[in-house]
Amino acid sequence: MNKKHVAIYAAVAAMFGIMGALVALNQKELPPMTGNAGAAAGAKPPVAVDKLFAQSLNDLQGKPEALARWRGKPLVVNFWATWCAPCVQEMPELSELAGSDGGKTFNVIGIGIDSPSNMQAFAAKLKIAYPLYVGGMGGTELSRAFGNSAGGLPYTVLIGADGQVRKTYLGKLKFDELRADLAKL
């Protein structure tokens, strides 16, 4: 890789890091939706969740996997990239959280906004206890469907067992807050 490419990647990474830092406080807690309450102020329509579960994304071995398999239990969806410093910083703790529960009460998945080769090299260095999927630039559009209008990373979505978006987190996760939110489900 030449110096020009490295400089471009560094500039893009810095831009996303700055965007994430600027909007990290812009976390939205959404009310649970039941019956016709889906029109409640601030509530995300179930369209985003339906779009997520309609996806088939490749795992790191290149095997397509239907995301519908994660329906029916609380789910933490983390949108990330290898070049995103806050993403990389939060992944070990997110992995520890996922590993400590082992999928008993909730699941965690990561959708990488990155190339398969970058994600594979990254995963080879770290032992991540949750499934990682290659979202590419389509992953950015999927995160936007969940309200990430700026396209900042990391972006995490908490989905209840009922398929309703409970909360979104823009920027590096505050794990005490995430654990408290998971305990409410």
User: For residues 96 and 83, is the Cβ–Cβ distance under 8 A?
Assistant: no
User: For residues 122 and 159, is the Cβ–Cβ distance under 8 A?
Assistant: no
Q: What would the pLDDT profile of 109-127 be if each residue is shown by its tens digit? A: 999 999 999 999 998 898 8
Query: Who has greater pLDDT, 4 or 35?
Result: 4
Of 28-37, 42-51, 95-104, 156-165, the least confident: 28-37
pLDDT band at residue 2 using 50, 70 and 90 as cut-offs: low
Q: Taking the model in full, what pTM does it have?
A: 0.77
User: For residues 171 and 154, is the Cβ–Cβ distance under 8 A?
Assistant: yes
Integer Cα distance of 165 and 139 in angstroms: 17
pLDDT at residue 140, as a whole number: 94
pLDDT at residue 44, as a whole number: 47
Distance of CA 106 to the CA centre of its chain: 14
> Hey, what are 32's tokens?
């649970």
User: Residue 34 pLDDT more than 50?
Assistant: no
Q: What would the pLDDT profile of 65-111 be if each residue is shown by its tens digit? A: 999 999 999 999 999 999 999 999 999 999 999 999 999 999 999 99
User: For residues 80 and 116, is the Cβ–Cβ distance under 8 A?
Assistant: no
Distance of CA 54 to the CA centre of its chain: 16
Beta sheet of 28-29, edge-to-edge order = 28-29, 165-170, 155-159, 75-80, 107-112, 132-134, 56-59, 64-66
User: Residue 141 pLDDT more than 60?
Assistant: yes
User: For residues 140 and 6, is the Cβ–Cβ distance under 8 A?
Assistant: no
Closest among 151, 145, 144, 185 to 171, alpha carbons compared: 151
pLDDT at residue 6, as a whole number: 44
In this prediction, residues 1-24 reach a mean pLDDT of: 47
In this prediction, residues 155-182 reach a mean pLDDT of: 97
